[in-house]
Amino acid sequence: MKIGVVGASGYAGGELLRLLSTHPEFEISAAMAASSAGTPITEIHPHLRHFSNQKFTAVDLALLNSLDLVFLALPHGESAKLISELTTPKIVDLGADFRLESGESWNNFYGGTHAGTWTYGLPEMPGQREKIMTATQIANPGCYATAISVGLMPLIPFITNQGLKEITVVAASGTTGAGRS
């Protein structure tokens, strides 16, 4: 399966390159990064030695539309701008653009126009694995949402049966997933 990563110079994009480069079913055909186009991949991600002869390229819609799967690892709000030009059969967005169901929630957290809702890519949630398997557009959950959701899942029966109304979670991160474009 031929794939591309847009936003490959950021932290999430670099991790995608690392993980997907050893996957037996994926061939990375594009590592795109607008602000880093022409820069050697190993200059930004020195740990990706198997990309030592490759450079980030500019976003190329014709190439993206020829691929089987595209991963978008762009800053919040940027994927929505690009999506209308993509005809790729399958797209996974790592940004927040398509995670939220409510336009009001989007506006409260991010501001601006809500781009819509895609299948939420957290297979551990009840019923989601089946939805993900047939989806063509997947909104990958963020790190906090994943950690909190998976961590609290064992409490669902207690929450339901005992009428628990509120849970407070305090979380901290040593790095940011927000990256370079």
d(CA 94, CA 79): 9
**Sheet (strand 119-120) strand order:** 27-32, 2-6, 69-72, 90-93, 137-139, 119-120
Cα–Cα distance for residue pair 124/132, rounded to 1 Å:
11
Sign of CA dihedral 135, 137, 140, 141: negative
Of 143, 150, 155, 156, catalytic: 143
For 157, counting Cβ atoms within 10 Å of its Cβ (0-12 exposed, 13-18 middle, 19+ buried), the class is: exposed
Active site residue 162: no
Could you give the residue numbers annotated as active site? 143
